[in-house]
């Protein structure tokens, strides 16, 4: 890494640990991907859904729900969407089949057709909103695919439902699901603690990166999932974020920020919109990892955290 690269990395770390910087107030909206009626240990889908919705009621915010059509394309799924619609949360498109657009085998034509199928799944709801979130946050592995999809969205009156703060809640959710299958009474405390720590770290990182890239505060959108993990611990997460200086705002308000209109000229295209814009700046791009978020970054730290927690717990017995 060059000297300039080290300086940029230092600045990002510096901003992450400063609580009294000029950009004091931090604004954050919640976005939820992949509502599902799949069964999980401990809670059925109705219980999970109810707990998540009650948490948003408690914190008095409206969020954006990004719907993958195939996961809710039946009577129960439509009931779930009706619950969110009745609470005036945004109902947005996350495709129908959750295709990986950056795959060489996925053509733009097929992807657009799948996007349209996703649109037809949600268009009858009162809070239907023309925001599209790319599955896996992958927006095209070539310039042609990237620009063709951008043109298709524009033609149909859609905007990109960008994320500013990406994370790996899905990975932690998969682990607690497997843990509970083994033992329904398993102690989930280390998973919960690691989850809260992980999201707070990623939020601070992307906020610091945004300061470097845009030289102003922005309205953030956090990507998390409609999952067992969030049914259990979402209230703890939102309370922690508020305690750490994050002001929770409605998703509709967040998407008014002009940062969500940006269309970075990068290839392959995808990840957080902050990451995309940062990758256009040579000095900062050298500090970025790819993919921006993945289980490979969390596997070992979480294993260590669980091991340390188990050791502490056993000593106290």
List the domain boundaries for the chain. 25-315
Dist. CA 253–CA 7, nearest whole Å:
34
162-186 pLDDT tens trace: 999 999 999 999 999 999 999 999 9
Quote the pLDDT of residue 261: 98
Give the model's confidence band at 195: pLDDT under 50 very low, under 70 low, under 90 confident, else very high: very high
Helix or strand or coil: residue 162? coil
CA angle, corner 219, sides to 214 and 199, nearest 5?
Answer: 100
Dist. CA 132–CA 159, nearest whole Å:
6
| Residue from 32, 28, 37, 75 nearest 52 by CA | 32
Read off the tokens for 249.
């705002």
| Residue from 107, 116, 209, 89 nearest 148 by CA | 107
Read off the tokens for 300.
């070992």
74-126 pLDDT tens trace: 999 999 999 999 999 999 999 999 999 999 999 999 999 999 999 999 999 99
Give the model's confidence band at 48: pLDDT under 50 very low, under 70 low, under 90 confident, else very high: very high
- Are the CB atoms for 128 and 91 separated by under 8 Å? yes
**Does position 131 have pLDDT exceeding 60, yes or no?**
yes
**Does position 22 have pLDDT exceeding 50, yes or no?**
no
Quote the pLDDT of residue 315: 87
Quote the pLDDT of residue 317: 73
Q: Is the dihedral of CA 267, 270, 271, 273 positive or negative?
A: positive
Quote the pLDDT of residue 9: 54
**Does position 11 have pLDDT exceeding 80, yes or no?**
no
Rg (CA), the chain: 20
CATH class of 25-315: alpha beta
Give the model's confidence band at 313: pLDDT under 50 very low, under 70 low, under 90 confident, else very high: very high
The distance from CA 170 to its chain's CA centroid, rounded to whole angstroms, is 9
The 3-class secondary structure across 31-87, one letter per residue, is: EEECCCCCCCCCCCHHHHHHHHHHHHHHCCCCCEEEECHHHCCCHHHHHHHHHHHHC
């Amino acid at each position: 890494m060059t000297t300039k690269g080290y300086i940029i990395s230092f600045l990002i770390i510096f901003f992450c640990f400063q609580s009294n910087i000029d950009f004091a107030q931090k604004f954050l909206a919640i976005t939820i991907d992949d509502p599902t009626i799949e069964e999980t240990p401990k809670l059925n889908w109705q219980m999970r859904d109810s707990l998540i919705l009650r948490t948003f009621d408690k914190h008095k915010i409206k969020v954006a729900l990004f719907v993958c059509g195939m996961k809710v394309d039946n009577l129960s799924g439509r009931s779930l969407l009706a619950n969110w619609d009745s609470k005036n949360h945004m109902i947005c498109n996350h495709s129908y089949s959750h295709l990986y657009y950056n795959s060489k085998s996925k053509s733009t034509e097929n992807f657009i057709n799948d996007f349209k199928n996703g649109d037809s799944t949600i268009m009858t709801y009162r809070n239907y909103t023309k925001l599209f979130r790319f599955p896996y946050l992958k927006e095209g592995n070539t310039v042609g695919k990237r620009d063709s999809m951008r043109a298709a969205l524009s033609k149909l009156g859609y905007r990109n439902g960008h994320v500013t703060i990406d994370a790996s809640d899905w990975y932690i959710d998969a682990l607690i699901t497997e843990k509970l299958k083994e033992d329904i009474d398993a102690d989930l405390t280390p998973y919960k603690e690691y989850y809260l720590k992980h999201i707070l770290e990623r939020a601070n990182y992307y906020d610091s990166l945004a300061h470097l890239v845009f030289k102003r505060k922005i309205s953030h959108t956090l990507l998390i999932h409609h999952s067992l993990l969030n049914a259990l611990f979402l209230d703890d997460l939102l309370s922690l974020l508020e305690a750490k200086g994050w002001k929770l705002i409605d998703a509709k308000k967040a998407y008014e920020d002009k940062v969500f209109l940006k269309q970075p000229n990068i290839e392959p295209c995808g990840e957080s919109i902050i990451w995309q814009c940062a990758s256009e700046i040579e000095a900062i791009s050298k500090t970025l990892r790819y993919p921006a978020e993945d289980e490979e970054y969390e596997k070992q730290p979480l294993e260590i955290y669980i091991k340390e927690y188990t050791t502490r717990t056993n000593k106290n017995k």
